Structure 1
């Protein structure tokens, strides 16, 4: 079957959305009709973006809190409104003035959206984060997608902890800087996580969004909606190994103290090509801080 995105299909997608059907319901109908999931998702997203650009928001209600079904969840605010955390740049601007610090743009990809940043944190700030986190470390957990809770996962062999949002002057200063960098409200971010990877520790490739097909996802989304972006900050430099890999695009970012890598994902789907992992530490240890950005206020 040749699957072509025709004008008639685009008109149908817009009609369904204007009629009040949530995007996940429209996507499900396309898949049920025989469309490949990846192609259907791209067609749906492109059509709604173009419609929004021409005519403004569809329907009478905001797109973020769309109706939920038992097995499917909203594609995310970004999929409808085009609103994602993003690094604003003026043309070929290579230095970003964040008020309290100038940060370099070292490299970027457009698809997937990945930006490598230089000097987001100072050496003193990196060391202060490490020392504040050290006594609070415990074996890292991952989200338990069946229940919405947490669990030990053999794919993730680091130790970690979470700071409460705004819990100290240091955390508030860094969170404010991140908010300016990504044009995203502080309150729409999870608390900053700090991780320590000893020799041999790694985090195998994974996605950061919450899988809509998992039964625990509705519980997770109640706290602030989907994750839309990830900022990973390197707090030290391991002697060997420990890079951040993006297998789908053949990219590996080397850990350099104070540098960071940001990536965003406009829908909870592998077509975003944001599969990523932490390569094993081969010598020394690795310290990183992670900030996840949500659709809405994270509570």
Structure 2
């Protein structure tokens, strides 16, 4: 019978030192495994140490406190999870930032129906105006889009209920689905989805459900080339596969969440996505 491995203060200090030196968590984990650490012990030590390090960094620098965020139930690393009415595959996961790639969140028929319902209502996409809390056309976002009201039609209601079950978050805390179309050359440059509290327009926005704490981007088609979703801080790119989705959460409105992301330019064809933003409280 083997002796349980103990996570020592020295090991935690070493993990923090590796992170401060710029090593990716995956590389630190592999180094621990190569040194003889059991995988479950190594993963728990790595995750807990990095989380505690970030929390201490936040306290020392007077950063915003963390919020509770949406989180799919991925205990025991399942290959698929039940989302109320449909089995959804787990394609890939990342802890820091919290990113999960879902396979088959939408059926092909649901993707096609969302495109058909939204196409007549497309207009030039806008971004939030941080000064007023309104919206404006921005050169960083070169797509066309529209919004469905939450529960506007049976299709939206079904998808919204599925997402709520999948990430364990109240249905009423979600914004309505946004549909975007990117033509050749169109992109959305890297940005954060949370609202910056330092901006004068944020107070107005936050009255409707509080801060954003999670995002789900669903791919409604597969462009011939380009159009991936990138996370520059962690060198991650998610390919736009029809029916799949990428989920990420951010527990505070600060770059430390490493959720900077963007839509790569479409090189050939077009890209359609449906985006769902999740708020702290009920969104009205």
**TM-score higher than 0.5 here?**
yes
The reply on whether 1:280 has 2:265 as its aligned counterpart is yes
Please report how far the alpha carbon of residue 271 of structure 1 lies from its aligned counterpart in structure 2 after TM superposition: 0.6
What aligned pairs does 1:99-248 form with structure 2 within 5 A after superposition? 99-248=84-233
Which SS does the other structure have where 1:290 is aligned? strand
Hey, what does 1:42 align to over in structure 2? 55
Query: Tell me, which stretches of 5 or more residues in structure 1 are unaligned?
Result: 1-38, 48-71
Q: Please provide the CA RMSD for this pair.
A: 1.9
Gaps of 5+ in 2: 1-51
2:58 and 2:64 in contact (8 A); partners too:
no
Q: Deviations over 1:171-191 (max 9, x none)?
A: 110000000001001110011
Runs of 4+ in 1 over 4 A off after TM superposition: 44-47
Measure, in 2, the Cα distance between the counterparts of 1:131 and 1:98. Answer: 24
Distance 1:75 1:294, change over 3 A: farther
Question: What is the total number of aligned residue pairs between the two structures?
Answer: 232
Match of 2:74 among 78, 89, 105: 89
TM-score normalised by the chain length of structure 1: 0.75
Partner Cα separation in structure 1 for residue 84 and residue 281 of structure 2: 25
TM-score, with length taken from structure 2: 0.78
Report the Cα offset of residue 107 of structure 1: 0.4
How far does residue 99 in structure 1 lie from its aligned partner after superposition? 3.0
CA distance in 1, matches of 2:105, 2:53: 38
